[in-house]
Amino acid sequence: MSLTQSNYTQTPAALPNAMVIFGAGGDLTKRKLIPALLHLCDARLLPDSFAVLGLDRLELDDDSFRDLMGEHIRDHVGAAFDQAVWERLVERLHYMQIDMLEGTDYGRLRERLSEIDVQRGTEGNYLFYMAIPPSLFPRVTSRLGEAGLLRETENDWRRVRRREAVRAGPGIRGGTQPRAAPQYG
């Protein structure tokens, strides 16, 4: 059963935004994030004014990043794969090579997000997703703040989301669980 055949169709689509994935060339993005976005696209829960900007050290352009994600999506979605839905999502995927620890790259990131705002109508709303080792979170969020990318106005919003490992305990099976990161404004 696809998501469009479920009761998710009663949920309104998200607001315009760009999802910026730090560590986009990694396993989490290929196995979890892009398949999840494909399901949201299938359920029409992503607005037309939505984009993904993948960031990593890999030397890729937009088309190479799209190809890389396309190589893995069928394996992780299985029989639920729908080529028409993938085509709607893949046009929204963008990529930028970045050194996450280099401050000057964040100025280029700000410029690239401004371009995507114009192209996709994301209205300056950004969700920064950290698919990177937890040891890099403080440095990356500091760089985002220094570049003014965490500053909100009355017309836009910014969010930082991370995924971190949790220890197994009573009632918890091992693995990772998402935990909301503090909001910066």
Per-residue pLDDT for 4 more than 80?
no
Which residue ranges make up each domain of the chain?
3-8+17-180
CA–CA dist 153, 144 (Å, integer): 16
Per-residue pLDDT for 16 more than 60?
yes
**30 contacts 69 by C-beta, under 8 angstroms:** yes
pLDDT in tens, 120-155: 999 999 999 999 999 999 999 999 999 999 999 999
pLDDT at 134: 93
pLDDT at 1: 38
Q: Which residues touch 23 (CB under 8 Å, ≥6 apart)?
A: 29, 55, 56, 130, 131, 132
- pTM listed for this prediction: 0.83
- How is domain 3-8+17-180 classified at the architecture level of CATH? 3-Layer(aba) Sandwich (3.40)
Beta strand pairing status for 93-97 and 50-56? Answer: parallel
Q: State CA 132 to chain mean position distance.
A: 12
Q: State CA 161 to chain mean position distance.
A: 9
Per-residue pLDDT for 103 more than 60?
yes
Q: What is the largest CA-CA distance in the chain?
A: 49
Of 65, 174, 182, 178, the C-alpha closest to 112 is 65
How much is the average pLDDT of 104-117? Answer: 97
pLDDT at 19: 98
